[in-house]
Amino acid sequence: MLICENVQAHNLRAIKPAGGIFLKTAETERRPDVTDNKPGNYRWYVMAVVFIGSFMAPLDSSIVNIALPTLTKYFSVGITTVEWVVMAYLLTTSALLLSAGRLGDMVGHKRIYITGFLAFTAASALCGFAGSIAQLVFFRVVQALGATCMMSTSPAILTDAFPPYERGKALGMIGVAVAIGLTVGPFLGGFLVSHFGWRWIFFVNIPIGLIVSALAFFILKEGTKDASKRFDILGSATAFAALFSVLLALSMGNEWGWRSALTLGFLATAAFFAAVFIMIESRVKEPMLNLALFKSRLFTAANISALINYVALFVVMIMVPFYLLDVFKETSQRAGMVITAVPLATALIAPVSGTLSDKIGSRFLSSTGLAVIALALFGLSRTSAGAGIAPVAGLLAVMGLGSGMFQSPNSSAIMGSVPRHRLGVAAGMQATMRNTGMVLGVALSGAIVATFAPKGAADPNLSSAIHLAFIAGAIIAGIGVFASLVRGSAPPQAHHERPNERSKNGRQA
């Protein structure tokens, strides 16, 4: 009898969130281990399928970036035009991730994942056959639709397949996949463009996409879904309008002017649709985004921290190439090798921090990771061409370590802070924060450099302007430390009873 009471007390403690608001979540919910109802190695087969999918999206992004100069010459267009090959992809994914996540919760994450992979593969072929820049941009939108389905469901599929005490480890491996994609992309893209032409940066996706789609069809088992619910069309439409408007304004603000009618008009449109979205979601019976999720301090703080992390990260990813090429006068090849220090360091630390978060929780690791990023950014602001590129490479590696330390535990916290039937929405929100942070980082650094070094590479103030961008990123990352700390302390996943422990307790009780 006493043992039963102790087990019940443990259960009650496990479902009390750090913010003091009672919200039973997937992180705290005691559910059977996957080995209870699926083959023992099933979760690792799932990991293999999702790992490849998570590798493909950043690989495609980094390959396309390296080909932009070639596309400019091939289609005889300006830089502002060819940028839409990237911007169309980014805006589409950012604006639709929440909707795709909710759709996965309703019809099944496996179905949405496979559909997305097939659409991504078909669109890759169409991109490769594009005959004009307009066609290429349009097919990139279609490709982004497929990528949205993949990105919004991958964390949900892993969370459903892995037990709570291994979730951080699993999501850490996805951080490795992303880092490898970002690392391999520039080298593979440069090789393909140089030896086979730009079209092959898209054709390379076709065989991989077909193979992974087939593996996903035969390996993945459909997890929890809510087929009885209706899709919130009005909520999805207003969320898309709000996100698309604000991201477009932030992306084009430098070119249009931050006080121009276009920029202010899109920002006002975003504010209007955001207000309408909140009103709709608070009134409809089956909302796309249940606003009650934000009552969880863990969910809210972890998402804000993710946004801040990617703002700081993309200040570096955008500014460092210009810094090395125009200030240090390095070659593109050497600059590319230096920049890979970030994803390589992330790949090394992400699985370690993910596994560690399963034992000690996410708060300390995520907060420390953001602090390391802030220090690395401040250090970059003190570098100079006279000291050579070695200090830059070292500080970029430090920043990669901080990013890897932050991302896996933070992702685990987000996915573990929602009910199981909202895993897709949580994954979509996490990806939305990531993409929005990327756009904000690009906009912030671009605005600083455009203001303090308007002549670009020819401006003698360029180095100082880039240093200011680094300092701004350091301040933002410092703010993120406090945002991460206020999440409170959630129970680490390793503290949940494992299957053999539950069986033992059951016999004792």
Last residue of a domain, one of 272, 287, 302: 287
Token output for 264: 């202010």
- Side-chain-side CA neighbours of residue 54 (13 Å): 26
Each residue of 89-131: pLDDT tens digit? 877 877 777 777 778 777 788 888 899 989 999 999 999 999 9
Verify that 82 and 213 share a domain, yes or no.
yes
Q: Which position has the higher pLDDT, 326 or 31?
A: 326
Verify that 222 and 308 share a domain, yes or no.
no
Contact 90, 203 (CB under 8 A): no
Task: Report pLDDT for 321.
Answer: 78
Verify that 137 and 264 share a domain, yes or no.
no
Verify that 251 and 389 share a domain, yes or no.
no
Verify that 280 and 348 share a domain, yes or no.
no
Is residue 14 assigned to a domain? Answer: no
Structural domain span for residue 443: 293-493
Q: Answer yes or no: pTM beyond 0.85.
A: no
Task: Report pLDDT for 489.
Answer: 60
Q: Is residue 176 pLDDT above 80, yes or no?
A: no
pLDDT band at 227 (very low <50, low <70, confident <90, very high): low
Verify that 66 and 84 share a domain, yes or no.
yes
Verify that 179 and 302 share a domain, yes or no.
no
Verify that 300 and 364 share a domain, yes or no.
yes
Q: What is the b/e burial string over 84-99, where b = at least 16 CB atoms within 10 angstroms of the residue's CB?
A: bbbbbbbbbbbbbbbb
Our count of domains for the chain comes to 3
- Nearest 5°: the CA angle 316, 330, 318 is 20
Most confident range (mean pLDDT) of 2-16, 53-67, 217-231, 233-247 is 233-247
What is the DSSP annotation of 70-118? HHHHHTT--HHHHTHHHHHHHHHHHHHHHHHHHHHHHH-HHHHHHHHHH
- CATH number of the domain bearing residue 113: 1.20.1250.20
Each residue of 35-59: pLDDT tens digit? 344 546 788 888 888 888 778 877 7
